[in-house]
Amino acid sequence: EVQLVQSGAELKKPGESLKISCKTSGYKFTSYWIGWVRQMPGKGLEWMGLIYPRDSETRYSPSFQGQVTISADQSITTAYLQWSRLEASDTAIYYCARRITLFGVVAAAFDIWGQGTMVTVSS
Amino acid sequence: DIQMTQSPSTLSASVGDRVTITCRASQSVSTLLAWYQQRPGKAPKLLIYKASTLESGVPSRFSGSGSGTDFTLTISSLQPDDFATYYCQQYSSYSTFGQGTKLEIK
């Protein structure tokens, strides 16, 4: 069974750093892009970016470029999303998701999703 | 950025009804469009990709159509599990989601 299992909820203070994880299983990790999607409280979905674990190529939405870093570790089939300095506006649920295979475009639909990680940033 | 606009924002319907949700793109996305269902407190679930291709395991009462800038998601006969929020997603130029359509019980 293909699964993406995310790390647990986080409560952080403004200015702190954070790295959340997305552990994958049940498929070949290096063959699919993994993406991250933000959902602020009571709001819709926002596409943040993607990583291709085979070579760590990353693509970011212009809205999130420079604000977060996406990475992956092939040895433990895990993708990461990290912040160097959190702000209150980063409070949201963050989902990782597997991108379906599609050539010729950066993004594509996500067929398997993690359960989400709630990040709360408050002083 | 390509903007995606869904209508209506909220839709009230009854079990057994046929409903249609519309998604409009600010510029052509060809057929590079997906639809998701999100239940409260849960992750989104892929229903349709490439505008009209049904994801494996999704009931056939769900269907998608359209190309270019105008797309529709149709549920032919609403079931109790279908009351949720629905999102469209374009992936022609990076990716953006619509603002969502909440399907409520009338």
Of all residues in chain B, the one with the smallest CA distance to A98 is: B46
With 90 as the cut, is the pLDDT of residue A106 above it? Answer: no
**Residue B54 CB burial class (10 angstroms; 0-12, 13-18, ≥19):** middle
Pair A113, A97: CB distance under 8 Å: yes
Phi-psi region of A62 (alpha: psi -120 to 50; beta: other; left: phi over 0): alpha
Contacts of B25 in chain A (CB under 8 A): none
Contacts of B36 in chain A (CB under 8 A): 45
Give, in degrees to the nearest 5, the angle at Cα A92 between A86 and A98: 105
- Mean pLDDT estimate for chain A: 96
DSSP code per residue over B60-78: TTEEEEEETTEEEEEESS-
Half-sphere exposure of B58 (CA within 13 A, CB side): 20
Over chain B (106 residues), the average pLDDT of each successive run of 10 is 97 97 98 97 97 97 98 97 97 95 95
Whether residue B45 and residue A47 make contact (CB cut-off 8 A), yes or no, is no
Residue with tokens 């549920």: B75
Contacts of B97 in chain A (CB under 8 A): 44-47
Q: How far is A73 from chain B (nearest CA, A)?
A: 23
pLDDT at residue A101, rounded to an integer: 86
List pLDDT tens digits, range A34-83.
999 999 999 999 999 999 999 999 999 999 999 999 999 999 999 999 99
**Residue A102 CB burial class (10 angstroms; 0-12, 13-18, ≥19):** middle
Whether residue B43 and residue A109 make contact (CB cut-off 8 A), yes or no, is no
List pLDDT tens digits, range A19-37.
999 999 999 999 999 999 9
